[in-house]
Amino acid sequence: MRRSVTVSLPSELGRMLDTTSRRRGTTRSLVIQEALRRYFAQMEYERLRSAMLPIAERLEIFSDADVFERVS
């Protein structure tokens, strides 16, 4: 199911969107869809990280090296 949304962009973002879509040989809609997917994935990552940080600290997991040591 598709849903149309109207978005107002500052001139510079509009130019960047047009340039990017032309260079990639795709539509502005597809560029915006990809940007939104990345944005929402980043928001979910930050939400999960915030939820897990207190647990990791209690387990004395502070770095990637600590994680690697635990799973290796």
pLDDT per residue as tens digits for the range 26-65: 999 999 999 999 999 999 999 999 999 999 999 999 998 9
User: pLDDT > 70: what percent of the chain?
Assistant: 100
pLDDT at 18: 98
Going from the C-alpha of 40 to that of each of 8, 46, 59, 68, the distances in angstroms are: 19, 10, 28, 27
- The full set of domain ranges for the chain reads 11-71
Predicted TM-score (pTM) of the model is: 0.76
Q: Residue 22: what pLDDT?
A: 98
